[in-house]
Amino acid sequence: MRTLSLAKALLCASITASPILRRAFCRSLVTWPKQDIAALYRGFVATHRALLRATTTLAVASTVVLAVPHSRALRANRLADFEQLRLSFYQWLFQLDFAEEVVSRDDFVFIRNLWREWSSGWVPPSDHLDDVIETLQRPGVLTAALTYYRTALGHAPADARVEELRKNTEGDISVPTLLLLGTRDRCLLPRMSRGAESAFAGSYRSESLDAGHFLHLQCPHEVSKAAAEWFKAYPIAAV
């Protein structure tokens, strides 16, 4: 399924934070039919859940997740939290017809400000952020990126095949999972993870680091250490 293959590419790009992978992924978006791009959100979520649950098919021994809690907890917490709803304003903005104009205005100052707000007290590396902006400036990429959010809120057509897969992966996750959160995250408040343990049948732990939303950029050594210790505790041989 092409949507799932694309979602896996996004997962790999986000984990490695590689500019080359990110550019390759975004360039591929502009060649896709709109209905497939619109299905990316659900495809990514379904693929992520499938990877976590497939202890035998994919031999996943353990996993580490950064910044974003399980959707079961996020759905339950966000709608009752005024501050989180306010911080999520960009998602509502992205639903509007003029979102592309707002986001791209003045050399994408909107994105630059958003990144800084998401990690209070931390300034993103200028070369990294410039690379993000350069990617968004490529033809078709910005609309494709916004379509991710439009699909998330049901304002873009979904792929019925991916939706069926999503329903089939709603069960509890058995793969040992470590969730790393930033105490100063202003994109998704750490408390959005409350109750996430209910989604895990296997080992689950949440740890907090003194960082904002982009933990892998702000404190790469701490993230690497926590991930290495978790993978050592649940090695591949244990599968």
221 has pLDDT over 70: yes
Q: Write out the two tokens for 93.
A: 């903005």
Least confident of 67-76, 180-189, 229-238: 229-238
SS3 63: strand
39 has pLDDT over 80: no
- Residue 23 CA to residue 16 CA, distance in Å, equals 13
- pLDDT category, 91, cuts 50, 70, 90? very high
- Residue 195 CA to residue 77 CA, distance in Å, equals 9
Q: Which tens digits make up the pLDDT trace of 173-220?
A: 888 999 999 999 999 999 999 999 999 998 999 999 999 999 999 999
Instruction: Please give the pLDDT value at position 102.
Output: 97
Share of the chain above pLDDT 90, in %: 56
Instruction: Please give the pLDDT value at position 7.
Output: 40
153: domain CATH number is 3.40.50.1820
78 has pLDDT over 50: yes
72 has pLDDT over 70: yes
Phi-psi label, residue 138: left if phi above 0, alpha if psi -120 to 50, beta otherwise: beta
- pLDDT category, 148, cuts 50, 70, 90? confident
Instruction: Please give the pLDDT value at position 171.
Output: 77
Which of 122 and 6 is assigned the larger pLDDT?
A: 122
Give 3-state DSSP helix, strand, coil % of the chain, rounded to 5.
60, 10, 30
81 has pLDDT over 90: yes
CB 183 within 8 A of CB 93: no
17 has pLDDT over 50: no
CB 211 within 8 A of CB 122: yes
1 has pLDDT over 50: no
Share of the chain above pLDDT 70, in %: 68
45 has pLDDT over 90: no
97 has pLDDT over 80: yes
Provide the 8-state DSSP code for 77. Answer: H
- pLDDT category, 116, cuts 50, 70, 90? very high
Least confident of 64-68, 217-221, 234-238: 234-238
Q: Write out the two tokens for 79.
A: 């709608």
Domain total of the chain: 1
Q: Write out the two tokens for 82.
A: 């005024």
Instruction: Please give the pLDDT value at position 165.
Output: 63
- Residue 49 CA to residue 42 CA, distance in Å, equals 11
Provide the 8-state DSSP code for 237. Answer: G
- Residue 162 CA to residue 2 CA, distance in Å, equals 10
Domain range holding 171? 2-238
